[in-house]
């Protein structure tokens, strides 16, 4: 297979300086980072034109690339990404009170409006699937939303945990979105019952766990991607219900992911 780039969503380390973040990410063994551009993080939306290019330079000096941002889709964001050499802005769409079909139509209207920015600045908008009340919740929904868009500008970010929570087989899901696939999110989770068998109505919650322990089969995902010569970003999202063990679990997961992909 061609080269893959391992990135990590840096949401758990929002209190670190950009330089300290780069050092930590590199120590873990990642090539890149997905940076949240949100209030209270290293780069905030209102300062994106100045701070994002500066953050990119600082991280590059530490041997870490910004592979994507999770943040606003304003023209300032596109300009800043272009200046900083960041190829992708990740977005998600919630189902609003009007229901799924209306929310899907609203998402298409936004993607229509963003496409000229993608063309002008050479930046891709990546749409991530998310279980529960999101557009889309699964791979079929992701294909339905994106199939009429040029994959050079509007791409699919396929999330292993969310598809598994929705009961999908990974090989099928990846094949469904392959034409637009621009990033793979590797994380893992399972449904855990939160009340006892004597309850009148069963209740479940999602437990975010390490790569080896959840519903998503990382070995099957890696094998499929290798067989189809995937070259692109593999982003570990560092999302764990045991928030006290984020650093340990992240280090263990990136080591295992590299082993699965045959990366030294």
pLDDT in tens, 218-258: 999 999 999 999 999 999 999 999 999 999 999 999 999 99
pTM, to two decimals? 0.95
Q: Give me the pLDDT at residue 1, please.
A: 45
CA dist 102 and 94 (Å) reads 11
Is residue 129 within 8 Å of residue 139, measured between CB atoms?
Answer: yes
Q: Which domains does the chain have, with CATH numbers?
A: 5-261 (3.20.20.150)
Q: Among residues of the chain, what percentage have pLDDT more than 90?
A: 97
Q: Give me the pLDDT at residue 264, please.
A: 72
The dihedral through the CA atoms of 135, 221, 32, 42 has a sign that is positive
109 pLDDT band, cuts 50/70/90, is: very high
Q: Give me the pLDDT at residue 2, please.
A: 57
Is residue 158 within 8 Å of residue 181, measured between CB atoms?
Answer: yes
């Amino acid at each position: 297979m061609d080269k893959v780039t391992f990135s990590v969503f840096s949401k758990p380390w929002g209190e670190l300086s950009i330089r300290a973040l780069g050092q930590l990410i590199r120590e873990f063994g990642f090539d890149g980072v997905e940076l949240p551009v949100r209030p209270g993080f290293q780069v905030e939306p209102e300062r994106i034109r100045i701070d994002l290019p500066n953050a990119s330079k600082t991280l590059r000096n530490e041997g870490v690339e910004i592979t994507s941002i999770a943040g606003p889709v304003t023209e300032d964001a596109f300009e800043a990404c272009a200046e900083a050499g960041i190829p992708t802005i990740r977005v998600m769409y919630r189902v609003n009170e009007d229901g799924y079909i209306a929310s899907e139509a609203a998402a298409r209207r936004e993607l229509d409006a963003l496409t000229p920015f993608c063309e002008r600045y050479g930046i891709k908008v990546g749409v991530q699937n998310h279980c529960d009340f999101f557009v889309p919740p699964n791979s079929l929904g992701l294909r339905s939303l994106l199939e009429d868009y040029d994959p050079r500008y509007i791409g699919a970010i396929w999330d292993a945990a969310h598809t598994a929570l929705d009961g999908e087989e990974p090989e099928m899901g990846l094949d469904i979105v392959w034409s637009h696939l621009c990033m793979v999110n590797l994380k893992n989770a399972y449904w855990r019952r939160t009340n006892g068998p004597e309850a009148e109505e069963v209740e479940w919650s999602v437990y975010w766990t390490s790569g080896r322990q959840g519903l998503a089969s990382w070995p099957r995902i890696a094998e499929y991607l290798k067989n189809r010569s995937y070259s692109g970003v593999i982003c570990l999202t560092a999302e764990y219900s045991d928030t006290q063990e984020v650093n340990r679990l992240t280090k263990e997961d990136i080591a295992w992911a590299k082993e699965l992909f045959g990366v030294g």
